[in-house]
């Protein structure tokens, strides 16, 4: 089942990855996550590591999404060249920025992504050309709206064809309203509610991030389609704290 089919049927659940060891990514697959977001915006990974993570995701049976370093042609094209199932683009605030992301992620006629068919995504040139160029345009494009400016332009952003998921970044949003880190502040939750209503009205799938089980439950109940819960290294450290510190005798 593709990731899109999964979130059309039920909430898809995954986490961010900020490790350089592909074993974590593979293990996330065995643990039953629907997706893993390999983070090039805030994580330490190089393109070489991204390629190994994408291979490990396939082996473990988890869909791989790359959060691009930034909203530019090279970051988005290179992320997709790795063969990942999709790309997530941070910090989209304007219609022009949203169109730029779509254009960088899609080949003609939907966009102007840089063409090279000798990349991992095209089995290093062995995939049938027409298959590659048509299937590449089906890769997921996830846009992050995480600032007040993006919220103000949301109706027009959501009308742009080619956006599979509108992803709210609660932490950046909290900074944008002057309360960095306070993701449960009413200013943030009200904006999130507004974004959720607009995305649903535009029939665009909705995603977000959370780092508490209460919010995970709340977002599932609110009908979010794609939820990233926390970060692999944080899940590991929280589990270690629970096992080794809380139970110390
Ligand atoms: C945010 O919360 O701002 C994000 O980008 C999720 O990591």
Structurally, the chain folds into a number of domains equal to: 1
**Cα-to-centroid distance, 169 and ligand 1 (Å):** 4
State the closest ligand 1 atom to the C-alpha of 175, by its place in the atom list counted from 1.
3
* Rounded Cα distance, 117 and 132, in Å: 8
Place of tokens 């042609």: 73
Name which of 121, 124, 71 is nearest 93 in CA terms: 71
- By annotation, the residues acting in catalysis are 42
What pLDDT was estimated at residue 249?
Answer: 61
How many CA atoms does the CB half-sphere of 222 hold within 13 Å?
Answer: 22
- Write the CATH number for 157: 3.20.20.60
For the chain, the helix, strand and coil percentages under 3-state DSSP, each to the nearest 5? 50, 15, 35
pLDDT given for residue 32 in this prediction: 98
pLDDT for position 114: 97
Ligand 1 centre to CA of 9 (Å) is 25
ipTM reported for the complex surpasses 0.85: yes
Cβ–Cβ < 8 Å for 111, 103: yes
Looking at residue 192, its pLDDT comes to: 97
Domain that holds residue 123: 3-245
pLDDT tens-digit profile, the chain (249 residues): 999 999 999 999 999 999 999 999 999 999 999 999 999 999 999 999 999 999 999 999 999 999 999 999 999 999 999 999 999 999 999 999 999 999 999 999 999 999 999 999 999 999 999 999 999 999 999 999 999 999 999 999 999 999 999 999 999 999 999 999 999 999 999 999 999 999 999 999 999 999 999 999 999 999 999 999 999 999 999 999 999 987 776
- Cβ < 6 Å from ligand 1: which residues? 144, 146, 169-172, 209
Give residue 247's pLDDT: 74
Q: Where are the beta strands (DSSP E) in the chain?
A: 12-17, 35-39, 63-67, 86-89, 140-145, 165-168, 205-210, 226-231
CA 214 to CA 172: how far, in whole Å?
A: 20
Of 14, 171, 175, the one to substitute when testing ligand 1's pocket (max ligand atoms within 8 A of C-beta) is 171
Pocket test for ligand 1, best of 150, 170, 177 (most atoms within 8 A of CB): 170
- Secondary structure class of 226 (helix, strand, coil): strand
Check if the beta carbon of residue 99 is closer than 8 Å to that of residue 105. Answer: no
């Amino acid at each position: 089942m593709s990731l899109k089919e999964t979130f059309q049927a039920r909430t898809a659940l995954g986490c961010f990855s900020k490790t350089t060891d592909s074993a974590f990514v593979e293990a996330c697959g065995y643990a039953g996550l629907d997706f893993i977001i390999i983070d090039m915006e805030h994580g330490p990974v190089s393109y070489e590591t991204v390629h190994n993570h994408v291979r490990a995701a396939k082996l473990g049976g988890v869909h791989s999404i790359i959060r691009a370093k930034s909203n530019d042609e090279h970051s988005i094209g290179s992320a997709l060249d790795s063969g990942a199932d999709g790309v997530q683009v941070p910090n989209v605030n304007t219609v022009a920025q949203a169109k730029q992301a779509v254009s960088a992620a899609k080949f003609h006629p939907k966009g102007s992504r840089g063409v090279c068919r000798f990349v991992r995504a095209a089995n290093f040139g062995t995939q049938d050309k027409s298959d590659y160029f048509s299937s590449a345009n089906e890769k997921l494009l996830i846009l992050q709206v995480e600032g007040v400016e993006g919220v103000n332009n949301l109706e027009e952003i959501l009308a742009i064809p080619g956006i599979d998921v509108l992803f709210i970044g609660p932490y950046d949003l909290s900074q944008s309203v002057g309360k960095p880190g306070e993701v449960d502040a009413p200013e943030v939750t009200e904006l999130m509610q507004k974004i959720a209503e607009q995305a649903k009205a535009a029939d665009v799938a909705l995603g977000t991030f959370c780092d508490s089980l209460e919010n995970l439950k709340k977002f599932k109940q609110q009908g979010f389609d794609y939820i990233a819960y926390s970060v692999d290294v944080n899940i590991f450290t929280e589990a270690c704290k629970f096992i080794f510190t809380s139970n110390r005798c």
